[in-house]
Amino acid sequence: MVLIFSWIKKELIYIKDSLPEIIKGIILVALASFGVAFALLFRYLGYNGTIITFVGIVAESISLFLCYFLFRNYLKSEEKTKPSKSMGKKI
């Protein structure tokens, strides 16, 4: 029983430490589906296909632009935290 609680505690600490990455992932998924959500909303409101397509494309373009900057910043932060190669014996 104690083993289970220590495992749960370890996993909760891991999730707490990974919370910024989890939030960034949720934001990326939300932005990626932003255009579809707008298209469904405009279809529900009764707009024609041309307006729905235009709004969907504009929304997806903005979303992809934002995703690019979020992902680029994420990759830059990963490069900074990447450990350097260990200095082994030189032969």
Q: How far apart are CA 17 and CA 25, in angstroms?
A: 14
Instruction: Give the pLDDT confidence score for residue 37 in this predicted structure.
Output: 83
Two tokens, residue 39: 């298209």
* Amino acid type, 77: S
Instruction: Give the pLDDT confidence score for residue 60 in this predicted structure.
Output: 81
User: At residue 83, does pLDDT exceed 70?
Assistant: no
pTM of the model: 0.56
Asked if residue 55 lies in contact with residue 23, where contact means CB atoms within 8 angstroms, the answer is no
